[in-house]
Amino acid sequence: MNKDPQPPQWATAFLRWYCRPRLLEDLEGDLYEYFVRNVSRKGLRYARLVYWLDVIKFLRPYTIRKIEPLTFLTHFMMIGSYFKTSRRNLVRNKLFSFINVVGLAVSMSVGLLVISIVNDLRSYDDFHEKKDRIFRVLTHHQNDGQAPTDLASSSIRTAQRLAGDVPGVENFTILRNGFSGDAKVGQNTFPLEGTWADQSFFKVFTFPLLAGDPATALQAPYSLVLTEKTAERLFGSTQVLGQTVRFDTLEYQITGIARDIPHLSHIHFDALLSFASADATMGKKQDGFYNWDNVWSNYTYITLSKNGSTAGVQRALNQISKEENKALLHKKVTLSLQPLKDIALGRKLSNNMGPRMEPVTLWILGGLAFVIILSACFNYTNLSVARSLRRSREVGVRKIIGARRSHVLGQFMTEAVLISFLALVFSFGLYLLLRREFLALDPHIPEIFTLDLSVRSVLSFIALAVITGFVAGFLPAVFFSKINALSAMKDASGLRIFKHIGLRRVLIVAQYTLSLVFIATTLVGYSQYKGFLNFDLGFTTENILNIKLNGTDAATLKKELSEIPGVTQIAHSSMVSSLGSMYGFDVKYRPSNASPGDSALVWVNTVDENYLPIHQHKLISGSNFTLRPEKGKESEVIVNQQVLKRFNIGGRDPQKALGHVLSVDGRDLTIIGVMKDFHYGTVENKIEPVMFRYSKSEPWGYLNLQMASTDLESTMAKIESAWKQFDKVHPLKANFYDDQIENAYSQFSMMVKVIGFLAFLAICIASLGLFGMVVFTTETKLKEISIRKVLGASEPGLIYLLCRGFIALLAVAALIALPATYLLFDKVLLTRFAYHQPIGIPEMLAGALIVMLLALVMIGSQTARAARSNPAKVLKSE
């Protein structure tokens, strides 16, 4: 419009902001005059600079606007009026209110869920009295030439060294996980898992005892502290102090009953055993139990003394590691401290205890919720601005009566916040539903979260509503407050609403891009997930039932089971492969006696002679194991092709590799067979060297039953009864291999579900918004349409005219979203998988098509209605 050089806008805005209204106009003019002069004399840049300096120089006491308490007061007095007009507006514009309340409610319910999740994780371990002073000792374990490991566990030696006077440490305690045994109480036997803890356990942590003395309960060897729940299970009562429980041959005395552990605790136990018992049962017998580098199963916690500092303790820990590391060869162990409150929301550590969520995951979740809420806010912004034609008269009147800009701003903000509060009420209802669904999503989720309401979470909910209201209402409020009263009254259609059409277009494109990314991600993710489940692992998992054993030789059970008609074959294995757990041995191979040999980690499964046929592993050369009476005489091994490749055995020729000897665990094992590569780990892992060792029986392993596919139910019932005869203590743990694989990938199915749900929300919100836009645009164009119709325009032509703009926007959104999704999968998500399906282009297009069709139906129906309207009626009303 104006090609003359203009003074810097921001400077003018600043001047307008601070300057007294009385002085403003002529001062602005004066500065402008100087600006024009400077431009012609010294150029634009100089002029702009001087303008800025002048604006700043005029910031003097006599020019600065007085603070007007009256304005604030009027705001306060006007709040009632704002509410009234806002309410009336909401009621009058039902479609507008409906779209916004529904959109915001739906999106905010996701926000509420994320808030609850974050809140839960932040409330972890809040019940400990000394929670701010409790730290866990972390271990950094580094073998020379290997990647270091960060562990949540530490060695017992660490705790022993802390017992010496370390300044700043008030108290420390040591925990050891992994007690498991059959508790005999009178005639009954119960499987019981427990944790060892030393006598200061109750000094560091706040786990109140209902009975027993916390100071001495865990002192003597063979002391046992039960939780209420466990006491009820074992004895049927909690008044059991002083009674004994037998594990094998050892009598444990009950020295305390602890109140049940709060849900949000990273430490969970059914029973505590005094650490002295661990010393008596294991420490005295096992070599290396107290070694400095035995860092795998114990946890050390300290409480800092009131005036102690973490830096001081860290120095002491560094000193300790330095001294202790001197005795280690090719290895270094260092220690650090982790605050108790960082455990649930901390970084990834091996051997971690309790649930943990990485902050990144939370950020992603929060980000997704934010994006969805933002999308709903866009709707509000878009529709408010689109509707501005109707509201501008109101604003005009307000301004003429004497409303300032800030008053109009306040009014529209109030309206937005009111809407978002209304949405909060609905979203809370939705949240309750969503919470139930979320907790049911995966059996692990209820273990981690309670999602109970707390004061903190409710306050956060309200804060969310207020912020959402502000974000949604900001742009419309600014827009309305800028309206010039006179022009609004004179000719409303002359308003610059169409100036903001660019903004509206951008918002619609953003919403649809988002929806498309979500739906494409869902569909592609789902096809990938299906791909994982149906992945060719290199062996069969169909109709195989894996039964977990509990340390008893299962020969009798095996015999019993083999008599069931539905069971065709039974094998033994030490573990179930392809589910993610891995066991390995260092294997040494010497091509000839003279060479020093080469060693590498080889993953292992110990199986019997039936395992390979049942799972249909393909032998490339050699033969299967044959039945051997005893375990001690193990001398054979079957390896996969990767082993040949790794050690270069027999020139990698499967035939020539037979007869070569591998040294495993101090034994020389001859290769009797080479099998085709299969997936020992999950699809995230590359195929690595794997070997099968032979064992006739694996008391802690699994029975693999091959089932006939007919009448699985009665077969299962028979297996169940056979198990009950065999083991009266432990319940049967039997799972079909296919189900186990599905379980191993459950996190992905969960992710697909979550993203799918978000996609659904995003599409709903975007559709609502688009619908609103179409309705309002066609409404404002109704006269134009009628005139065109009178002049002879055809209906399809009119529909095309109205749709054109929206369809172009959708096309732009698709052009952005689809390549973005493809790149997201190609460059980010699928890089962690060593093996995956190609990214399904058809799925992506299908997703886009669904969204497009939905949008087209909406646009089409509304525009068709407008195009069909009777021009006589529309034009008559003027």
Partner 1 sequence: MKGTNLGEFEELVLLTIAALAAEAYSVAICDELERYTGRSAKLGVVHAVLNRLEEKGLAKSHLGDASATRGGKRKRFYEVTHAGKVALMRAKELREAIWRNIPGFNLEGSI
- Of the pair 7, 840, the CB lying nearest partner 1 is at 7
- Of the pair 30, 129, the CB lying nearest partner 1 is at 30
* Number of other residues whose CB lies within 10 A of the CB of residue 105: 22
Task: Work out whether 751 is an interface residue with partner 1 (CB under 8 A).
Answer: no
In angstroms, rounded to a whole number, what is the distance separating the alpha carbons of residues 317 and 314? 5
CB of 10 to partner 1, least distance (A): 16
> Of the candidates 10, 13, 30, 787, which one interacts with partner 1 according to CB under 8 A?
30
- Of the pair 64, 459, the CB lying nearest partner 1 is at 64
Counting residues that bind partner 1 (by CB under 8 A) gives: 18
Q: How far, CA to CA in Å, does 128 sit from each of 90, 135, 170, 577? A: 49, 12, 15, 40
- Of the pair 25, 739, the CB lying nearest partner 1 is at 25
- Of the pair 54, 324, the CB lying nearest partner 1 is at 54
Stretch that binds partner 1, among 58-66, 116-124, 357-365, 437-445 (CB under 8 A): 58-66
In angstroms, rounded to a whole number, what is the distance separating the alpha carbons of residues 309 and 833? 43
Q: How far, CA to CA in Å, does 388 sit from each of 461, 532, 780, 809? A: 30, 52, 11, 22
CB of 359 to partner 1, least distance (A): 52
- Of the pair 16, 233, the CB lying nearest partner 1 is at 16
- Of the pair 58, 757, the CB lying nearest partner 1 is at 58
CB of 312 to partner 1, least distance (A): 59
Where does 781-840 have alpha helices with state H?
A: 782-790, 795-823
* Exposure string for 438-447, b = 16+ CB within 10 A, e = fewer: bbebbeeeee
Question: Which helix (H) or strand (E) covers residue 252, if one does?
Answer: strand 250-258
* Exposure string for 613-648, b = 16+ CB within 10 A, e = fewer: ebbebeebbbebbeebeeeeebebbbbbbbbbebbe
CB of 53 to partner 1, least distance (A): 10
In angstroms, rounded to a whole number, what is the distance separating the alpha carbons of residues 709 and 715? 10
Q: How far, CA to CA in Å, does 404 sit from each of 171, 395, 481? A: 64, 10, 8
CB of 49 to partner 1, least distance (A): 16
Question: Which helix (H) or strand (E) covers residue 767, if one does?
Answer: helix 746-780
CB of 29 to partner 1, least distance (A): 3
> Of the candidates 58, 127, 428, 535, which one interacts with partner 1 according to CB under 8 A?
58
Residue listed under structure tokens 């027999």: 650
- Of the pair 29, 167, the CB lying nearest partner 1 is at 29
Two tokens, residue 466: 């207020």
Taking Cα atoms as reference points, which of 596, 684, 679, 670 lies closest to residue 639? 670
Alpha-carbon Rg for the chain, nearest whole angstrom, is 37
Task: Work out whether 29 is an interface residue with partner 1 (CB under 8 A).
Answer: yes
Distance from the Cα of residue 462 to its chain's centroid = 24
In single-letter form, the type of residue at position 799 comes to I
> Of the candidates 13, 33, 215, 819, which one interacts with partner 1 according to CB under 8 A?
33
> Of the candidates 3, 9, 21, 57, which one interacts with partner 1 according to CB under 8 A?
57
Stretch that binds partner 1, among 56-64, 101-109, 297-305, 484-492 (CB under 8 A): 56-64
Task: Work out whether 18 is an interface residue with partner 1 (CB under 8 A).
Answer: no
Distance from the Cα of residue 267 to its chain's centroid = 21
- For residues 272 and 194, the answer to whether their CB atoms sit within 8 Å is yes
Two tokens, residue 773: 């836009």
- For residues 265 and 124, the answer to whether their CB atoms sit within 8 Å is yes
CB of 34 to partner 1, least distance (A): 7
Distance from the Cα of residue 447 to its chain's centroid = 15
Task: Work out whether 28 is an interface residue with partner 1 (CB under 8 A).
Answer: yes
CB of 13 to partner 1, least distance (A): 14
Residue listed under structure tokens 């409404």: 779
Q: Draw the binding track, 757-796, toward partner 1 (x: CB under 8 A; -: no contact).
A: ----------------------------------------
Stretch that binds partner 1, among 21-29, 528-536, 566-574, 600-608 (CB under 8 A): 21-29
> Of the candidates 13, 25, 215, 429, which one interacts with partner 1 according to CB under 8 A?
25
- Of the pair 21, 164, the CB lying nearest partner 1 is at 21
> Of the candidates 27, 49, 658, 734, which one interacts with partner 1 according to CB under 8 A?
27
Stretch that binds partner 1, among 31-39, 280-288, 543-551, 696-704 (CB under 8 A): 31-39
CB of 51 to partner 1, least distance (A): 12
Distance from the Cα of residue 350 to its chain's centroid = 19
Residues numbered 577 to 636 that lie near partner 1 (CB under 8 A) are none
> Of the candidates 8, 16, 18, 23, which one interacts with partner 1 according to CB under 8 A?
23
CB of 70 to partner 1, least distance (A): 23
Task: Work out whether 17 is an interface residue with partner 1 (CB under 8 A).
Answer: no
Task: Work out whether 49 is an interface residue with partner 1 (CB under 8 A).
Answer: no
Task: Work out whether 26 is an interface residue with partner 1 (CB under 8 A).
Answer: yes
Helix (H, G, I), strand (E, B) or coil at 731: coil
Taking Cα atoms as reference points, which of 532, 573, 515 lies closest to residue 549? 573
* Number of other residues whose CB lies within 10 A of the CB of residue 283: 14
**CB-based contacts of 144, cutoff 8 Å, min separation 6:** 330, 331
* Number of other residues whose CB lies within 10 A of the CB of residue 759: 26
In single-letter form, the type of residue at position 113 comes to L
Task: Work out whether 491 is an interface residue with partner 1 (CB under 8 A).
Answer: no
CB of 42 to partner 1, least distance (A): 14
In angstroms, rounded to a whole number, what is the distance separating the alpha carbons of residues 567 and 558? 11
- Of the pair 34, 726, the CB lying nearest partner 1 is at 34
CB of 373 to partner 1, least distance (A): 42
Question: Which helix (H) or strand (E) covers residue 332, if one does?
Answer: strand 331-339
In angstroms, rounded to a whole number, what is the distance separating the alpha carbons of residues 757 and 753? 6
CB of 21 to partner 1, least distance (A): 12
Task: Work out whether 62 is an interface residue with partner 1 (CB under 8 A).
Answer: yes
CB of 479 to partner 1, least distance (A): 22
Task: Work out whether 34 is an interface residue with partner 1 (CB under 8 A).
Answer: yes
**CB-based contacts of 573, cutoff 8 Å, min separation 6:** 605, 606, 607, 608, 611, 698, 701, 702, 704
Measured CA angle at 840 (ends 839, 841), to 5 deg: 110
- Of the pair 6, 550, the CB lying nearest partner 1 is at 6
Helix (H, G, I), strand (E, B) or coil at 631: coil
In angstroms, rounded to a whole number, what is the distance separating the alpha carbons of residues 466 and 460? 10
Residues numbered 356 to 375 that lie near partner 1 (CB under 8 A) are none
- Of the pair 60, 827, the CB lying nearest partner 1 is at 60
Task: Work out whether 13 is an interface residue with partner 1 (CB under 8 A).
Answer: no
Taking Cα atoms as reference points, which of 520, 488, 569 lies closest to residue 818? 520
CB of 54 to partner 1, least distance (A): 7
- Of the pair 7, 168, the CB lying nearest partner 1 is at 7
CB of 5 to partner 1, least distance (A): 11
Stretch that binds partner 1, among 57-65, 151-159, 449-457, 459-467 (CB under 8 A): 57-65
Which residues of this chain interact with partner 1, rule CB under 8 A?
A: 7, 23, 25-34, 36, 54, 57-58, 60, 62
